[in-house]
Amino acid sequence: MARFLPSVLAACTRRPLQSMRVVIGLACVVVLALLWRDLIATQASTEAAERERIRSEAMVHARAAAGSIQATIDSFNFVLRSAREAILTGPKSLDVLGRIVTASMTQDIVIQLFHVSEDGFLSYSSLERAPMNFLGDRAYFRLLAESAEDKLVVSDAVLGRLSNKWSIQFARGVRGADGAFKGVVSLAVSPDAWVAKLKSFEVGSSDLFAVLGADGAYLMRTLYGGGYYGKYVPPDRPFLQHPEQREGDYVTSGALDGINRQFSWVRLPSGLIVVMGIGLEEALAPVKALNQRSLLRALLLSSLLVLACAALVIALGRYEKVVEASQEREAHYRSVFDNMAEGIMIVDDHEKISGINRAFTAITGYGLGEVTGRSPALLSPSVPGARNLGAIIGRHPAGSWEDDFDGLRWNGETYTGHATLSVVRGADGRMANRIVLLADVTERRRKDEEIWRQANFDILTGLPNRALMMDRLERMISHARRHPSMVVVLFVDLDRFKPVNDNFGHDTGDLLLCEVARRLEALFRDEDTVARMGGDEFVVLIPRNADKAAVEATATKIVESLSRPFQIGDQSLEISCSVGIARFPDDGDTAAVLLHKADVAMYRAKEMGRATWST
């Protein structure tokens, strides 16, 4: 090694152009490595952001479908309660109610209203005269006969013995005043007809929508639906593994079609589970196509760069073999200098500009005569807090540097620039000049910022979204562990928000959500976090010590603020909210547990009559 390095240095001294070719080759490799590293990182970030958007979209559709299904189940429950009263009144009353149900409810969904007497035989059907049909062995009949609890029972998909058609039974037990069992009243619902009406919640052709029983049995399914009746989902699904959870998501591939899907699920109060799956290949196709085009462009640029570097190296090799006048060599180097794609600025050891290229003029608007002998500080605005290029160069007198700066063009227009600083030393080792490569990266930085905001902020309200909220909550908890303190989580759910959408439209509902966000932000400090979880749910994070009374007072302020009328256009809207409170470390030591506890407390507040808070 002791002999090798001096020999290499001696060779570099004897043949400087050969050394330059090596440097160019290495620079080409480094530039290509940086280019491809940044490209791959950007594509991975873009795809990750798109996957997060798809996950959020699947949850939005699952929640919307769950709301529609729950509303239909509520109407079924009302009919069954009315039918039960009619049975106790007399057959004629039941017949009248059956005709009303047949005429008023959606006939392609509701097949029939029927009554099974206590002996297990069909005694009434809204379709026609009840045929002799024994239904006492059905699971829903046995369950209601054996239990005195007044509850709605939803059966698995069953195949009719007479109709040979699949149906789902929504059933309630009938008991007399003395508590004696009087049979079962039930609505038979067509899963095929119902799921056809729910296909509107799908987005792409490979999307999947399903409704499952609490035990994972298929009740309805859009793709290959008929073949799944009577079957069950695999037992490893999260909604079966964690029955206490109300909603969640996961990714898995279909057993029949092998399509990888992003699933979101919501558990209804009746125990039914609504599942929405979006085909990832179809949903990610636009992003993947964009990434593919980016790869092709990068490959083309890389090829051009390699060809350019190779051509330059060959030219330098030939130039080494030819003895030319110093003036000819200067012209050659000046040509290379002027035709570089990046803007180039030469700064002498007194920090004055001594040379530029045409790309520099194209970027900044300054010509050679306007900048020669002047400080690079003129290329940045002279305002407090600006990243001044001249000051940055002054802070790196002898080393290399690469970073963004705030640029100012000749016409006063500002932009975001990227500068790469390198030092040129003379034969004595002293610094002779500094070379600064300039590029306008305004659009690139704007796109980076846009991608970051889309991944971390709610598009409608501008508040942090669930992902950013969870990240901040985890950071607050980590800080509270290191410096023993408290973190308060307030889960806010709007009361009476759905009627606003139903009566005034979703545009009004969106404006109302924005106003709610503004009121919540006005109640808290900059170090607190107000986030939107989705729908009409918000979360407030407060990283400070506070006694129970102070936290409860804060929750009361939220309820009072959101209970005041909202003026949306010419409409005065009144809503309220229910607030659930959870505190670290009293109620949990992880972000997921705290959020769950606050969610449970919020539902407890709703059960207390809404427009209040609970712990």
> What are the tens digits of pLDDT across the range 301-344?
888 888 888 888 888 888 877 756 556 767 776 777 777 778 88
- List, in sequence order, every residue forming a beta bridge with 542; answer none if it has no partner: 488
* 463 and 414 in a common domain: no
Kindly tell me if the per-residue pLDDT of 427 is higher than 80. Answer: no
- CATH code, domain with 586: 3.30.70.270
Total domains in the chain come to 3
Q: What is the pLDDT of residue 221?
A: 85
* 559 and 432 in a common domain: no
* 142 and 280 in a common domain: yes
Angle at 480 between CA 477 and CA 486, to 5 degrees: 95
Q: What is the pLDDT of residue 563?
A: 94
Kindly tell me if the per-residue pLDDT of 4 is higher than 60. Answer: no
* 603 and 474 in a common domain: yes
**Predicted confidence band at 485 (pLDDT cuts at 50, 70, 90)?**
very high
pLDDT digits (tens, 9 = 90+) for 436-481: 888 888 888 888 888 888 889 999 999 999 999 999 999 999 999 9
Asked if residues 352 and 446 have their Cβ atoms less than 8 Å apart, the reply is: no
Domain contains 44 = no
Average pLDDT in the chain: 85
CA 585 to chain centroid? 28
Point out the domain boundary residue: 416, 443, 470. 443
Structure tokens at 236: 């490893």
* 348 and 429 in a common domain: yes
Kindly tell me if the per-residue pLDDT of 280 is higher than 70. Answer: yes
Kindly tell me if the per-residue pLDDT of 106 is higher than 70. Answer: no
Q: What is the pLDDT of residue 198?
A: 74
Kindly tell me if the per-residue pLDDT of 2 is higher than 60. Answer: no
Asked if residues 542 and 524 have their Cβ atoms less than 8 Å apart, the reply is: yes
Alpha-carbon dihedral angle through residues 39, 41, 43, 46, given to the nearest 10 degrees: -140
* 223 and 103 in a common domain: yes
Kindly tell me if the per-residue pLDDT of 432 is higher than 80. Answer: no
Domain contains 30 = no
pLDDT digits (tens, 9 = 90+) for 161-176: 777 788 889 999 999 8
**Predicted confidence band at 523 (pLDDT cuts at 50, 70, 90)?**
very high
Domain contains 40 = no
**Predicted confidence band at 565 (pLDDT cuts at 50, 70, 90)?**
very high
Domain contains 296 = yes
Structure tokens at 430: 């002293």
For 287, the enclosing helix (H) or strand (E) is helix 285-321
Domain contains 365 = yes
Instruction: Look at residue 415 and give its three-state secondary structure.
Output: strand
d(CA 137, CA 363): 83
Peptide bond into 585 cis (omega under 30): yes
Residue with the two structure tokens 């001096």: 6
- CATH code, domain with 341: 3.30.450.20
d(CA 75, CA 65): 16
pLDDT digits (tens, 9 = 90+) for 261-277: 999 999 999 889 999 98
How many C-beta atoms surround the C-beta of residue 220 within 10 A?
Answer: 27
Residue 462 phi/psi, 5° resolution? 80, 0
- All residues at 6 or more sequence positions from 241 whose CB lies less than 8 Å from its CB, including other chains: 235
d(CA 377, CA 383): 11
What is the chain's alpha carbon radius of gyration, rounded to the nearest angstrom?
Answer: 36
d(CA 331, CA 329): 5
* 464 and 396 in a common domain: no
* 428 and 573 in a common domain: no
Question: What is the biggest distance separating any 2 CA atoms in the chain, rounded to whole angstroms?
Answer: 119
Point out the domain boundary residue: 248, 280, 300. 300
Point out the domain boundary residue: 243, 277, 300. 300
Asked if residues 489 and 473 have their Cβ atoms less than 8 Å apart, the reply is: yes
* 478 and 546 in a common domain: yes
Structure tokens at 29: 């490799």
**Predicted confidence band at 497 (pLDDT cuts at 50, 70, 90)?**
very high
* 421 and 284 in a common domain: no
d(CA 226, CA 221): 8
Kindly tell me if the per-residue pLDDT of 3 is higher than 70. Answer: no
Top mean-pLDDT range of 10-24, 46-60, 511-525: 511-525
Angle of helix 442-456 versus helix 16-89 axis, rounded to 10: 30
Q: Which one, of 509, 514, 516, lies nearest residue 493 by Cα?
A: 516
Asked if residues 577 and 495 have their Cβ atoms less than 8 Å apart, the reply is: yes
pLDDT digits (tens, 9 = 90+) for 528-547: 999 999 999 999 999 988 78
- All residues at 6 or more sequence positions from 489 whose CB lies less than 8 Å from its CB, including other chains: 473, 539, 540, 541, 581, 582, 583, 584, 594, 595, 597, 598
Q: Concatenated DSSP letters for 60-93?
A: HHHHHHHHHHHHHHHHHHHHHHHHHHHHHH-HHH
Structure tokens at 594: 């705290």
Domain contains 348 = yes
Instruction: Look at residue 564 and give its three-state secondary structure.
Output: coil
pLDDT digits (tens, 9 = 90+) for 339-397: 777 888 888 878 888 888 888 888 888 988 888 888 888 888 887 877 888 777 777 66
Q: What is the pLDDT of residue 403?
A: 83
Mean pLDDT of 597-607: 95
**Predicted confidence band at 284 (pLDDT cuts at 50, 70, 90)?**
confident
Q: Note the pTM of the prediction, 2 decimals.
A: 0.46
Calculate what percentage of the chain has a pLDDT beyond 90: 30
* 469 and 354 in a common domain: no
Q: Which amino acid is at 50?
A: E
Kindly tell me if the per-residue pLDDT of 5 is higher than 90. Answer: no
Range of the domain at 401: 335-443
Pairing state between β 260-267 and 401-408: unpaired
Domain contains 309 = no
Calculate what percentage of the chain has a pLDDT beyond 70: 92
Q: Which one, of 174, 74, 168, 194, lies nearest residue 124 by Cα?
A: 174
* 437 and 469 in a common domain: no
**Predicted confidence band at 398 (pLDDT cuts at 50, 70, 90)?**
low
Domain contains 48 = no
3-state helix, strand, coil in the chain (%, to 5): 45, 25, 30
According to DSSP H, which parts of 494-608 are helical?
498-504, 506-523, 548-563, 591-607
Mean pLDDT of 110-115: 85
